[in-house]
Amino acid sequence: MKTVFILIAIAAICSSYTPVDVKEAFLDNKIVPDVLENAPKKIINVSYPNGVIVKLGEELTPTQVKKAPWVTWEAEEDAFYTLMMVDPDAPSREDPNLRQVRHWLVMNIPESFVESGDEIIEYLGSGAKEGTGLHRYIFLVYKQRDGIIEHNEARSTNRMRANRLVTSASEFAERYNLGEPEFGNFFQAQYDESVDRLHARFID
């Protein structure tokens, strides 16, 4: 029952966003041009198991976002999608020399059934180190123009840094003919003590 109420709340909040709202948020927070050339036109619905709902640029804590969220969007019937979550502010917004860090990558998602897609990079919550300020965590969804994609992308578990650092959402989209993202959302987060536990479990 709790899940039903959460989903209703998500739908109510996200339905209130217009394409103008999404564009302005991506521009105001400089995701365009830091990550994308153009802002997505529609919102991604993102909510965490603890009931936290992502609202275009709102600040959340690493503790709030440590578990993988539920993600949905207005998918076309029988279409396949790619979901990506990136941090362009590593190690900090002032010196982003590790930009972009992949926090999540799922390909070949049927409609918006993320759990049925191919999870290549397992979800990793906010990992902003102490003193590095706010980081932007950006969810992007691309429609796969060519249907199911055959790929050889390197994989990473949620205990690995491998295949996450110094990546580019735009270059990835170009490689697989994805075009521009149709859907987007993001939050901001900075350090809390849960980040130390996250980094301590890395095996590489």
Q: What local confidence, expressed as pLDDT, does residue 16 receive?
A: 74
CATH number of the structural domain spanning residue 188 = 3.90.280.10
What predicted TM-score, i.e. pTM, was given to this entire model?
A: 0.92
Q: What local confidence, expressed as pLDDT, does residue 17 receive?
A: 85
Q: What local confidence, expressed as pLDDT, does residue 11 receive?
A: 54
> Domain total for the chain?
1
d(CA 53, CA 64): 10
SS3 at position 173: helix
Residue 184 has phi, psi (to 5 degrees) of: -155, 160
Q: Which portions of the chain are predicted below pLDDT 50?
A: 4-6
168 within 8 A of 108, measured Cβ to Cβ: no
d(CA 15, CA 17): 5
d(CA 79, CA 146): 9
Q: What local confidence, expressed as pLDDT, does residue 5 receive?
A: 46
Q: Which domain holds residue 48?
A: 2-200
